[in-house]
Structure formats: C-alpha cells, structure tokens
C-alpha cells in the first residue's frame, strides 16, 4: 500500500468470505479523496463480498481496512457509517411498506450533519423525482425509482465515501443517466469518493478514474482512465464480450473531472491476450439506455425522436418489471458446511487423460460410510467457491456459491471431494471430444474416446485416480463412458437422487448417479446419494 495521506480508504491483504468458504484472497487497493474506482468482474468472483466486508457486514478473516487512517477492520457497520462510509446494496433493500419520506427518515442519525427536516429537504432537492413521490410506498415505485431512493437514503447519513453495488441493475435508461449525473455532481460538489461495482461497462467507464479487475477473489489487474476509452485494449485485457456495452460507438463520451493521482494496483494490464483473464457477461436482463436505443434505431434505419424512444421504453417496462420481480426473489441458499480452498488447475503432467478440470482437497466428516473415499464430481455439479464451466468456454470463470445437495450428503458421509472432472460442452455429446479444454482420452488406449458426456468421471475412476465419481445422464451420459472405460455406472430411477445444484438440460430426463470400480461401491454411493431433499421438483416420494 502507498500510505499516501490523500488515501481515504486503504485495504491491505483482505481475506474473507461466508462462514468457512473463503471468497476474498489477499485483496489490496487504495482509493484517494474524490476518486471513483470501479470494480469489474463476472458473477461469483467476490465483488459483493468485497463491499460487504469493507462495510462490516461480513467479517474479515485477515488483512486490514483503514478509513481516513483509522483501522476499522473490526468495527461494526453502524460505527463505520458514523465515520463516513455509506453503502448502497445490490437489490436496493428499501422498506416496501414505508413511504419514500419514511424510508429517508429511517436513515437519519445524529451524525447526518443537520436536523432531520433539513437533511431530508437537502436530499430531496438533489432528487426531484423522489420529491414528487415522497408519499408513495416503496413497493409502488419502479425499479429505477427504488434505486434512486436507496442512493438518497444512503446520502441522508452524510457519507463522504460511497460503496455502490450494481446501481444500474434492472433500471430504466433515463434513470441510469440521472444517476450518472447525480454521482458526478456529488463528486464535484462534495469531493465524495466512490468504490463502484458494476457490470454496465459504459456506466463504470464514464464515472471511474480507474477500474480494478476482480477474479476469483483477487485483484488481477487495473485499467486506467485513458485505457478505458481504448476498446481494443479493453477487449485485450478483459476478454471479448466480458462487459456489456450500452452506448453507441459514435456518440461523445462524457468524462468525469480529473481526480487525484490514481494508485497502481499489484498487477497491470498484461501485454497480450493469452495472459488476460477471461470474463463473461452478466446474465441479468438489463434495460437499454436511451443512447443504446438511439444507436439501434440508427442501425435499423429508423428515425425516432427521444419522445418516441421513451414510448418504446414504456412498452418494454411491464416485461422488465417481471424480470425485476424474478431477480428480487430471495435465493434462500443452503448453507455451505465444509471449508475448502478454490482448488487448482492441474498441469498437463498430472492430467495425462485431460480428465480433470480442477483439483481440490475437501475433507468431509471424520467418519461415515464413505470415510476416506476420494470422489470426483462431473463439472456440472456445484461446489461452492470452486470454478465450474460445464465443458463450455461460455461459462468459464463462473464460481458457484452453493454445494449441490449430493455434495453435502457425500461430505456428511466422510468422503473427500478430490475435484471436478471434465465433461462435454454443455453435456451435449456422447463422445469425449467437444469439451472446451480438449478431448478426454480413454484410460486404456490414449487417442481413443472415453465416451460422454461424463467422460472425465469414468476415465478418472478407471485410471484409479479417484475411488468414485459422480456423473450425469440425460441420454446415456453415465452409461456410455462407463462402458467405454470399463467401470460401473448407474443411471438411477428418475428422481431418486436429488438434482438440486446441478446444471440441468431438461427436468424430465435429468439424472445423476455413481460411477465406481465395483458393484458394491456403486450400491454404497447410491445409498448415500438417494432420498428426497425437499428442493428438487423432479422428486416425488422417491423410493
């Protein structure tokens, strides 16, 4: 860290996560007075975890967080807020049955800088849209209006540093532009610093002085302001299609005012594409911005005024609100009960069959029917904190946040999860040649097919690299590779084994089952896996 007196926020060696699942691994960065720093990365890389840890909602396992030279690493969130940290969470978190004014009143504290009435008046002056809606309940607001309310509520606490988590997610174009103007105004008028997590590349590049790239809980690089306007450099560093562009290429790009000198990150942009981390696009449905709609109209040869584009936005809005409601549905994710590291990608020297995707060492309970048995998972099975790609480069870099039901059952039974096995691209092949990482070799004769789509699972068992494996079957994907590799594979009765937390193809044909070297081991593993979990709709009184 630089130790510069102008640094408002300094994070050094920060590690943390959820319970015993590590997400952040030695994060280092600093943000100067009046600086806007963006954080870009695909889903599951730790962006939200980083903001929640900085704000104190998640404990830091190690490292330090210093705000205005004061160590706040162990302070609770309300004390950090009193020092000037403000947090706008992803999903807004407003109170749906309170009015706009009451939502704002709820955030007032003695450290807000003035009386409650004066603070609310000042905030509403900056948000004229909200003033007209001050008596409306939060649930009656549009997604964009709710986001403005969340930002305004944060400002009631008079912060001088904002932590913003995906503020443009699921909101209409006009409000995205209003929000950008508001944040630029706050920066110019109050010198507010911002740490911004965002998937909208146009929004993050328009506001940020520099952008940090977060991959698997580590900052792997940084793009300076001058580099953000160079599309070729952005694509080379982040990977093609890694961040969604919502502005037309021909329009002017508004830049924020100059900020204090930015700090260099531990790693800078690599010189060639081979060294660049590959990111993927956020899957959340986004509303197009006005600029994007103008560009689309131009490309289609349509001459539409902004008023007409607004009419199109109004037509789209009910459909977007349906997506918003779906996106806002609570996940109620099952707890991850066993600690682990993210694993490692094996060298070719230890992956002769190309059957491994990632190797791990996740021990389960100290005893049980599977005590000490090493098990490989087909790379369709979610293993929290460990990469998963389902055989396709489209998903490369995705990291699940949960364990599949069967993973927890095997760990409870004393198994050791040894890693993830390669499979065919999206499991749509009965061969072993379509996976994004190359063909899987037959353990009995290199250069010949192991079968698919669960080729890696069968090959690892046949080669003796694991004791057992999990495979999936929609049309022969357990049975074909088991036959090719000379092992025992079981396609269980449909619904007998819960499919929760496993990449599906179609629920009426999805099956998951054991691959082993003996019939006895097959029966043993099936006994551990079988049974209703109360979550999988494929199951109905399984026996």
Token pair recorded at residue 387: 């990469």
Check: CB of residue 220 under 8 Å from CB of residue 226: no
User: What does the pLDDT read at residue 462?
Assistant: 98
User: What does the pLDDT read at residue 205?
Assistant: 84
pTM of the full predicted structure? 0.51
Q: For the chain, how many residues are written?
A: 543
* H or E, element range at 360: strand 356-363
453 assigned to active site: yes
Domain ranges of the chain: 7-96+141-288, 348-529
> Distance (Å, rounded) from C-alpha 110 to C-alpha 119?
11
Please determine whether the domains at 7-96+141-288 and 348-529 fall in the same fold group of CATH. Answer: no
> Distance (Å, rounded) from C-alpha 521 to C-alpha 523?
5
User: What does the pLDDT read at residue 132?
Assistant: 87
- Distance, CA of 81 to chain centre: 25
Among 414, 539, 421, CA closest to 487: 421
Q: For the structural domain made of 348-529, what CATH number should be given?
A: 3.90.1300.10
Give me the architecture of the 7-96+141-288 domain, per CATH. 3-Layer(aba) Sandwich (3.40)
> Given 378, 420, 437, 491, which residue is catalytic?
378
User: What does the pLDDT read at residue 216?
Assistant: 83
The half-sphere exposure of 103 on its side-chain side, counting CA atoms within 13 A, is 32
User: What does the pLDDT read at residue 186?
Assistant: 85
Check: CB of residue 100 under 8 Å from CB of residue 48: no
Check: CB of residue 9 under 8 Å from CB of residue 195: yes
Residue 233: count of CB within 10 angstroms of its CB: 15
> Given 429, 453, 457, 482, which residue is catalytic?
453
In this prediction, the residues of the chain whose per-residue pLDDT falls under 70 are: 1-5, 170, 172, 231-284, 541-543
> Given 242, 429, 477, 482, which residue is catalytic?
477
Check: CB of residue 343 under 8 Å from CB of residue 23: no
47 assigned to active site: no
Report residue 499: phi and psi, to 5°: -100, 5
Report residue 112: phi and psi, to 5°: -70, -10
DSSP string, 396-462: TT---SS--HHHHHHHHTT-EEEEEE---GGG--SSS--STT-PPEETTEEEEE--SSSHHHHHHHH
378 assigned to active site: yes
DSSP string, 26-63: EEEEEEETT-EEEEE--TTSSHHHHHHHHHTSS-EEEE
């Amino acid at each position: 860290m630089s130790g510069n007196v102008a640094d408002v926020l300094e994070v050094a060696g920060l590690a943390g996560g959820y319970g015993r699942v590590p997400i952040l691994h030695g994060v280092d960065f600093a943000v100067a007075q009046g600086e806007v720093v963006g954080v870009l990365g695909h889903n599951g890389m730790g962006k939200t975890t980083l903001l929640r840890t900085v704000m104190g909602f998640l404990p830091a396992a190690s490292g330090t967080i210093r705000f205005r030279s004061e160590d706040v690493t162990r302070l609770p969130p309300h004390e950090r807020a009193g020092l000037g940290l403000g947090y706008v969470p992803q999903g807004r978190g407003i109170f749906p049955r309170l009015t706009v004014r009451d939502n704002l009143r709820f955030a007032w504290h003695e450290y807000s800088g003035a009386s409650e009435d004066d603070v609310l008046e000042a905030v509403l002056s900056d948000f004229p849209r909200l003033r007209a809606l001050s008596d409306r309940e939060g649930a009656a607001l549009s997604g964009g209006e709710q986001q403005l309310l969340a930002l305004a509520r944060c400002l009631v606490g008079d912060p001088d540093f904002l932590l913003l988590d995906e503020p443009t997610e699921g909101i209409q174009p006009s409000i995205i532009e209003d929000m950008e103007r508001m944040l630029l105004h706050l920066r110019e008028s109050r010198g507010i610093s911002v740490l911004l997590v965002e998937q909208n590349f146009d929004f993050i590049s328009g506001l940020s002085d520099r952008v940090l790239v977060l991959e698997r809980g580590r900052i792997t690089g940084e793009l300076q302001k001058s580099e953000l306007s160079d599309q070729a450099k952005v694509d080379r560093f982040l990977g093609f299609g890694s961040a969604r562009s919502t502005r037309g290429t021909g329009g002017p790009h508004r830049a924020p005012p100059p900020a204090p000198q930015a700090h260099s990150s531990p790693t800078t942009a690599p010189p060639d594409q081979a060294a660049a981390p590959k990111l993927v696009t956020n899957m959340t449905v986004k509303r197009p911005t006005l600029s994007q709609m103008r560009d689309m109209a131009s490309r289609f040869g349509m001459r539409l005024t902004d008023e007409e584009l607004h009419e199109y936005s109004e037509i789209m809005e009910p459909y977007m609100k349906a997506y918003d409601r779906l996106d806002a549905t609570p996940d109620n994710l099952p707890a991850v009960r066993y600690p682990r590291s993210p694993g490692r990608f094996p060298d070719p020297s230890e992956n002769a069959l190309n059957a491994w995707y990632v190797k791990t060492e996740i021990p389960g309970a100290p005893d049980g029917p599977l005590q000490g048995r090493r098990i490989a998972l087909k790379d369709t099975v979610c293993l929290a904190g460990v990469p998963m790609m389902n055989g396709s480069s489209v998903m490369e870099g995705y990291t699940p946040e949960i364990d599949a039901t069967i993973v927890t059952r095997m760990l409870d039974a004393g198994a050791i999860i040894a890693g993830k096995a390669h499979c065919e691209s999206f499991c749509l092949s009965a061969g072993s040649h379509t996976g994004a990482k190359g063909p899987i070799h037959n353990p009995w004769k290199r250069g010949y097919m192991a079968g698919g789509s669960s080729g890696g699972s069968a090959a690892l068992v046949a080669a003796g690299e694991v004791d057992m494996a999990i495979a999936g079957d929609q049309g022969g994907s357990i049975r074909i590779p088991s036959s090719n590799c000379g092992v025992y594979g079981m396609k269980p009765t449909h619904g007998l084994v819960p499919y929760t937390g496993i990449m599906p193809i179609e629920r009426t044909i999805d099956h998951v089952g054991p691959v082993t070297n003996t019939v006895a081991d097959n029966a043993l593993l099936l006994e551990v896996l079988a049974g209703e979990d109360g979550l999988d709709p494929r199951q109905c009184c399984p026996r």
